[in-house]
Structures are given as structure tokens and as C-alpha cells.
């Protein structure tokens, strides 16, 4: 990759966007691998913080790339990372939308859809694993994660309440 | 009213470009923790621009395509009602406000990120966010692991292990697993007919 961080940002995220089947969450491990392990743009905690801020912000969760871009190269980095992550797949979506409906019952379309579901599930599970490992630095944080899993699985509580509770516990200094 | 809706899905006038833009701005600023539920509420329940089936099909396409799902969906939806211009305004409405908000947050974080108190709050929120994502994975996995495909869990586990445990680059894992999974689905089409 080029020395210019904007070029690296654009190249990595444009490539990543084309493989991120399962949405932004499925791409978290790869973002982590690139930003923390390969390029050393940020450390583990900064990455986890970025994810937390993206979750707290309204709008699509893909907005984490904006935060990474800003961290690397300011406002220009934020813009470049966002355009790279959304641009190629939006063009693809635009052209796919015009042909897809025509092949609604085609066997190849059904096979593609059916085959990609488990792949994307595995990728999202990997994201959850990577995040939990970055977030749960001690047993108390692990307990917060576990309790959140239980509450979110078996109740319909608005996630904002869970975030509020997690933030308060963090503030109290237990985590 | 109910007679009409039962007879045929009612489509009020297709949204104008301005309506498209404003609607996606509203979806994006209200969509905490993901914009999908809000998009569905607005399009299907409030504006009746699509029936449930139409929405599911459009979203399935957005999900199947690589990249952020809701972003793809805004393009698919916008292009259906307004061509290229419709896609552009829907996308701008969805991404504009969060871009501004998150850039401001990023500036604040750059300024105050080292503060211990902020770090503590964020560590609690991150632990929560990880839990939420695990719960989503659990909900998605239930249908896959409980019925029909004997091969699907294996593919999911391989994808998980390759990326999370082996730390292989996602494009490689995808390039190997996706064709295999699609080929299996192709050769065993009967297994997929039960799909809702």
C-alpha cells in the first residue's frame, strides 16, 4: 500500500465492502485486523471505543468506518473511509436492483441466497467474538456482556436502556 | 378501507424525491442500534410504500449483496421509486445526519478520549454492545441450527473459525467458503425450498 493514509484507507475499505456479506457487523474482525494488527492505526481499546460510539450514534452501524477514518486522517479520512465502504456496494446494489427481480425464481438465485446465509452468520459470530474479547478485559465486563446476552435474547427491552446500564456500571468503576 | 387493502396492496402515490430524502433522514436519526426496524416501520406501516412481502424481498436483496445492509437497501428502495436520483437522495438522507453526528463525536473523542471517566463509561458500553451482538447471532442461528440443512452449521462454524480463531483475512475465507456453500445449496435445492 501507498504511504498516503488516505490511499490506504480507501483501498482497504473499498475491498472490504465487497466481501462484507452480512453487513457492517460481519466486517468487524477484518476492520480490527487491518486497523489494529496490520496498520497499527489504533490500539485495541480505541477500536472497541469506536465500536461503542458507532453503536451509540443513530443510523447504520457501518458508521464505525467513519470513526476509524477520522482517527487516521481527520475529516478527510472520515469522508474517504465512508465513501470507500459505501460506494462500490451502492453501485452494485443499484445495478443489481434492476436485474434481481427478474430472476426471482431462478435456481441460481435461490442457491446463492441459501449458500450465503450460513457464511454471513459465521462472519457475524466472529465479529461478536472479536468484540467480546476486546471489551471484556476482566470478569466484571464479562458478566455485563453475559447479562446483556440474556436480557436481549429473552426480553424486548430497548437496547438504549442496556447501554445506559452498561455505561453507569462502567462509570461506577467496577469494570 | 380493509376491503380495499385485502383485495390488492394499495400503493399511494409513489414518494417524491423530497419525501424520499426526508423519510430516510428520519429513519437514520431515529435508528439507534441499527436502522432496519425503523426503515420497515416507515415504509410498510406508516407510508404503505411497500407491502410486507415487497419489503422482505427488497431487503433480502440488500442483505445478499455485500456491504452494509441498510445502506444497500436505501439504494434498492430509492432506485425503485426514483431511478438514479431516487437512489442518491435516499442514500444521502440515510448517511448524511449520522456522518455529521459521528464526526463531531470523533472530534470529542480525540479531545477527551484519554479521560479516565470517559474510558470507564465506554468500557461498560462496549461490554454491552458485545452482548447485544452475541444475542443477535443467537437469534439468527436458531433456524439454521435447528432444522433442514445439515451442512449449514458446518459452513457457519468454518467461517467463524477461519476469521475469529485463525485470524485469516476475510476476503480469503469468503472466497473459499462462499462458492462451496452456494454449490452445496445448488446441488441440494430441496433443502432450501422450506425457506420462508
Asked if A128 and B130 come within 8 Å (Cβ–Cβ), the reply is: yes
Cell readout for B82 is 426514483
Q: What is the C-alpha to C-alpha distance for residues A77 and A55, in angstroms, rounded to an integer? A: 20
Nearest to A119 among B95, B127, B155 (CB): B155
Decide if pLDDT at B6 tops 50: no
Residue B90 has pLDDT above 70, yes or no: yes
From residue B75, how far is each of A81, A90, A101, A164, B44 by CA, in Å? Answer: 19, 6, 15, 33, 17
Q: Where are the domains of chain A?
A: 5-112
Here the ipTM equals: 0.81
Min distance B77 CA to chain A CA atoms (Å): 9
For chain B, the domains span 1-114, 138-196
Cell numbers given for B77: 428502495
Rounded Cα distance, A43 and B117, in Å: 18
SS3 category, B113: coil
How many inter-chain contacts (A to B, CB under 8 Å) are there? 381
Rounded CA gap, B45 and B33, in Å? 20
Contact B126 A49 (CB under 8 A): yes
Cα–Cα distance between B120 and B126 in angstroms, integer? 10
Q: Which of A141-145, B11-15, B58-62, B141-145 has the lowest mean pLDDT?
A: B11-15
Q: Looking at beta carbons, which residues of chain A come within 8 Å of B182?
A: 111-112, 114-116
Reported as half-sphere exposure (CB side, CA atoms, 13 A), residue B23 has a value of 26
Please state, in angstroms and rounded to a whole number, the distance separating the CA atoms of residues B26 and B36: 12
Rounded distance between C-alpha atoms, residue B153 and residue B158, angstroms = 8
**Cβ–Cβ < 8 Å for B38, B31:** yes
Residue of B68 and A7 predicted with greater confidence: A7
Distance from the Cα of A8 to chain B's closest Cα (Å) equals 16
Nearest to B130, CA basis, from A81, A47, A155: A47
Q: Bridge partners of A58?
A: B32
Nearest to A121 among B94, B132, B140 (CB): B140
Q: Which of B31, B177, B181 sits opposite A59 (nearest CB)?
A: B31
pTM: 0.79
- State the average pLDDT over residues B144-171: 86
pLDDT score for A1: 47
User: In B, which residues are within 8 Å of A83 by CB distance?
Assistant: none
- Contact: B132, A159; criterion CB under 8 Å: yes
What is the chain A residue with the closest CA to B60? Answer: A113
Residue B47 CB coordination number (10 Å): 13
Q: Where are the beta strands (DSSP E) in A9-127?
A: none
Query: What value does the mean pLDDT take over residues B144-159?
Result: 83
Helices B152-160 and B170-187, packing angle to 10 deg: 180
pLDDT at B157: 95
Chain A residues touching B175 at Cβ < 8 A:
19
Given a cut of 80, whether residue B107 has pLDDT beyond it is yes
Give B148's pLDDT tier (boundaries 50, 70, 90).
low
Q: Reply yes or no on whether the pLDDT at B13 is more than 80.
A: no
Interchain proximity A115–B139, CB inside 8 Å: no
Q: Which of A11, A114, A141 has the highest number of chain B CBs within 10 A, making it the mutation to test binding with B? A: A114
Give the pLDDT mean for B9-31.
82
Phi, psi of B63 (to 5 degrees): -75, -35
Q: What is the rounded distance in angstroms from the CA atom of residue B130 to the CA atom of residue B135?
A: 9
**B75 has a pLDDT exceeding 90:** yes
For residue B173, list chain A residues with Cβ-Cβ distance below 8 A. 123
pLDDT in tens, chain A (175 residues): 457 899 999 999 999 988 887 778 788 899 999 999 999 999 988 998 898 888 888 878 889 999 999 999 999 999 999 999 999 999 999 998 888 777 777 888 888 878 888 888 888 899 889 889 888 888 999 999 999 999 988 987 877 788 899 999 999 877 7
Nearest Cα to A87, choosing from B100, B66, B37?
B66
Average pLDDT of B20-30? 90
Confidence tier at B33 by pLDDT (50, 70, 90): low
Question: How far A5 CA lies from chain B's nearest CA (Å)?
Answer: 18
Q: Calculate the CA dihedral of residues A142, A144, A148, A150 and round it to 10 degrees.
A: 70
The set of cell numbers assigned to A82 is 465512508
Amino acid at each position: 500500500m501507498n504511504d498516503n493514509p488516505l490511499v490506504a484507507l480507501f483501498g482497504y475499505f473499498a475491498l472490504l465492502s465487497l466481501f462484507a456479506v452480512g453487513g457492517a457487523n460481519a466486517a468487524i474482525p477484518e476492520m480490527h485486523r487491518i486497523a489494529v494488527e496490520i496498520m497499527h492505526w489504533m490500539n485495541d481499546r480505541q477500536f472497541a471505543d469506536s465500536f461503542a460510539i458507532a453503536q451509540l450514534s443513530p443510523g447504520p452501524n457501518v458508521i464505525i468506518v467513519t470513526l476509524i477514518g477520522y482517527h487516521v486522517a481527520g475529516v478527510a479520512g472520515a469522508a474517504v473511509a465512508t465513501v470507500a465502504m459505501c460506494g462500490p456496494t451502492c453501485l452494485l446494489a443499484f445495478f443489481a436492483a434492476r436485474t434481481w427481480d427478474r430472476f426471482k425464481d431462478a435456481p441460481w438465485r435461490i442457491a446463492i441466497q441459501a449458500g450465503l446465509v450460513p457464511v454471513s452468520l459465521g462472519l457475524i459470530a466472529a465479529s461478536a467474538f472479536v468484540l467480546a474479547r476486546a471489551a471484556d478485559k476482566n470478569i466484571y465486563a464479562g458478566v455485563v456482556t453475559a447479562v446483556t446476552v440474556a436480557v436481549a435474547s429473552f426480553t424486548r427491552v430497548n437496547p438504549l436502556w442496556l447501554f445506559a446500564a452498561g455505561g453507569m456500571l462502567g462509570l461506577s468503576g467496577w469494570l | 378501507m380493509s376491503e380495499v387493502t385485502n383485495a390488492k396492496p394499495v400503493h399511494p402515490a409513489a414518494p417524491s424525491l423530497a419525501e424520499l430524502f426526508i423519510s430516510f433522514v428520519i429513519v437514520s436519526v431515529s435508528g439507534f442500534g441499527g436502522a432496519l426496524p425503523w426503515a420497515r416501520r416507515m415504509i410498510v406501516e406508516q407510508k404503505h410504500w411497500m407491502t410486507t412481502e415487497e419489503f422482505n424481498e427488497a431487503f433480502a436483496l440488500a442483505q445478499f449483496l455485500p456491504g452494509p445492509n441498510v445502506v444497500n437497501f436505501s439504494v434498492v428502495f430509492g432506485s425503485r421509486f426514483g431511478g438514479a436520483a431516487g437512489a442518491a437522495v435516499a442514500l444521502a438522507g440515510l448517511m448524511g445526519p449520522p456522518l455529521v453526528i459521528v464526526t463531531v463525536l470523533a472530534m470529542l473523542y480525540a479531545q477527551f478520549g484519554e479521560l479516565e471517566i470517559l474510558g470507564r463509561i465506554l468500557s461498560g458500553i462496549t461490554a454491552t454492545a458485545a452482548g447485544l451482538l452475541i444475542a443477535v447471532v443467537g437469534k439468527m442461528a436458531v433456524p439454521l441450527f435447528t432444522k433442514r440443512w445439515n451442512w449449514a452449521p458446518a459452513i457457519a462454524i468454518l467461517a467463524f473459525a477461519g476469521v475469529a480463531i485463525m485470524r485469516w483475512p476475510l476476503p480469503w475465507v469468503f472466497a473459499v467458503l462462499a462458492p462451496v456453500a452456494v454449490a452445496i445449496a445448488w446441488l441440494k435445492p430441496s433443502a432450501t425450498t422450506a425457506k420462508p
